Structure 1
Amino acid sequence: MGGIYGIDEVLRDLDMIDEEIDEAVDEIAKEVAVEILDLAVNNVNGPDTKYLQYSEPPYPVGTPTGTLKRSVKLKKVGKNKYKVFADMQVARYAWWIHEGNKFMEARPFLDDAVKNVMDTRKYIEIGNKIIENILNR
């Protein structure tokens, strides 16, 4: 049976390229999530609260026990999707720190980490590095 000569090799190469693109997108998503995680942890990596002055900026959030810092986690939630969150099972008060209440100002340590990564366009730097590594294989 005849056919287009070399089509099998072309299709095999296209499948490999498709797999590499999927791997790259997943790696980019994970690296960006790790960057957000690191910034969020840094936002809650302050000194023991007994040494904080109320006039100081909201970051870093004081950590007398480190529980809030330990609650900030990264989880893969789907294909090319990662979630950075404060585990409420570890630090039930994380939501109140993040959102604030009538007694204290909100300190959105997660939202600010995402905003920082987006504003600094760090995700482009991460993506370019990963794509460059793939192309240089």
Structure 2
Amino acid sequence: MRLPALLLALPLSALLIAPAGAAATPCMLPALLDGRQFTNLSDPQYHPTNPNAGRMVQVNFSGDRYVLQVLGTPLTVAGTYRYQRLAPHVGEVRMTEAYPGGTSRYTLLLTCLTDQQGQFVFTQHDGPVAPRQRQNGGRWTLQP
């Protein structure tokens, strides 16, 4: 049974989108990801059964494609993406990846803490690695 993306993303995304308080520093996500590089670190505490929990990845975006390298491993995968900035501090990246063993489809919901760093919610809608549908969070850093 496939779970609707909204049901998977809602619990963590509600925490990310909620204002942190009046003293929060305004930040802005990039308008485009083309030519940008992110380093993402998954939270190992959120979902211990996630095979990528605690891993750091580097993602390079070019045109409508990306290359993701799991740092510290030989694994490099590529795919296509669609990015939309939903608000100055919230963005969504829909990704389809040619992963070993099959195609993986997932969404990254981004929120910024500064213009170069923030938090993400990873929601896998379908993929070859069990569990096929899963969710975790972590931190992203936009490289200069």
What is the TM-score with the length of structure 2 in the denominator?
0.25
Please identify which structure carries the higher helix content: 1
Higher-Rg structure is 1
What is the TM-score with the length of structure 1 in the denominator?
0.26
